[in-house]
Amino acid sequence: MKKIMINKTTKNDMITYAMVILAYIVVQLLIATGHVSSLIQGLLVPFCTYVIVAIALNLTVGILGELSLGHAGFMCVGAFSSAVFSLAFKDAIPGGLRFLLAILIGAAAAALIGFLVGIPVLRLRGDYLAIVTLAFGEIIKNIINALYLGVDGNGIHFTMKDALSLDMEEDGLMLIKGAQGVTGTPNDSNFTIGVVLILITLFIVLNFIHSRTGRAVMSIRDNRIAAESVGINVTKYKLIAFTISASLAGVAGVLYAHNLSTLNALPKNFGYNMSILILVFVVLGGIGNIRGSIIAAVLLTLLPEVLRALSDYRMLIYAIVLIAMMIFNWSPNAIFFRKRLKQRITAGRKPGKEE
């Protein structure tokens, strides 16, 4: 009995890893045979970004059971901290090592901000928590929009006013130019690195879920009072899960930043619309279902591009598909129908095991 159970979860995880690797191979084959338009090729790294951040958010929404609308903010922290690092050390450190360090810096910076935001926010619950994370996300974006950062012979300069008040020397290097963002970040991201990062994210999240810490986090989600009664430190485990989730969102930000030559903190990429888009991936893919998040993130990013030919109608169709998928996934009747279908298929082979 014990053996079977362990194998089942491991098998499930393996399917998820295999799915990502298979998708990668298929895409590479399609590119090699010239079946992928340059438009879609340009979207491959953003795909990976969305997948990573969707997995990260699912850790908060599905495993910790709290609704966060601030994950675009953590992405933003990861993106800017790493972009600044890569720009400052563009010539000093060789490409591969520099990007590795950039990833670690982005993850660490987002983890730190996630931890600090988490301390007050995780005292709240449900809708209140969602709204406050939304506010924190916006604050992060707006601070970065107003930030000027430069480095010259005299060291690091920074201000929130304007470029002139930085008071830099002639040969100084501007790192963040307020609303103009970061320009000239080396383009270190590519599809392969993106997929590797997805696999690493998956490894961290899936192993976390099946560990002692993950169980503690899920027990808090399922019943906080009972969790406390068996000696689970609620605050501690909530913070651990939230920090890891923020940190992984930061990694997604690093990947995103190093795919662009100019990085701006726009409402479109790091605002709450982005946070909500990520949440849509998670809800649509199934809350707590990591594999579902990946599929939903890819499908919903791909859909508007595939529908581009329909021009004006595409957002309408996108919305209709969204509603249809949501109903199929979550309506009680649809769930019942799927269950019966599954039972009919598995009947005879495994009698009486499903409920």
Using the rule CB under 8 A, is 197 a contact of another protein? Answer: no
Distance between CA 265 and CA 4 in Å, rounded? Answer: 48
- Helix (H) or strand (E) holding 231, with range, is none
Write out the binding residues for another protein, residues 201-220 only, by CB under 8 A: 203-204, 207-208, 210-216, 218-219
For residue 2, the one-letter residue type is K
Q: Which is nearer to another protein, 157 or 221 (CB)?
A: 221
Q: Which is nearer to another protein, 28 or 213 (CB)?
A: 213
Least CB distance to another protein at residue 275 (A)? 25
Using the rule CB under 8 A, is 5 a contact of another protein? Answer: yes
Distance between CA 56 and CA 75 in Å, rounded? Answer: 10
Least CB distance to another protein at residue 307 (A)? 36
Q: Which residues contact 73 (CB under 8 A, 6 or more apart)?
A: 113, 117, 133, 136, 137, 138, 139, 140, 141, 270, 275
Q: How many residues bind to another protein according to rule CB under 8 A?
A: 34
Write out the binding residues for another protein, residues 308-327 only, by CB under 8 A: none
Q: Which is nearer to another protein, 230 or 345 (CB)?
A: 230
Distance between CA 355 and CA 173 in Å, rounded? Answer: 64
Least CB distance to another protein at residue 208 (A)? 5
Q: Tell me the DSSP string of 267-310.
A: HHHHSHHHHHHHHHHHHHH-TT-HHHHHHHHHHHHHHHHHGGGG
Name which position in 118, 285, 288, 292 contacts another protein (CB under 8 A): 288
Tokens of 293: 């998040």
Using the rule CB under 8 A, is 343 a contact of another protein? Answer: no
How far is C-alpha 311 from the geometric centre of its chain's CA atoms?
A: 29
Write out the binding residues for another protein, residues 218-257 only, by CB under 8 A: 218-219, 221-223, 225-233, 240
Using the rule CB under 8 A, is 125 a contact of another protein? Answer: no
Sites of contact with another protein (CB under 8 A):
1-2, 4-6, 8, 203-204, 207-208, 210-216, 218-219, 221-223, 225-233, 240, 288, 355
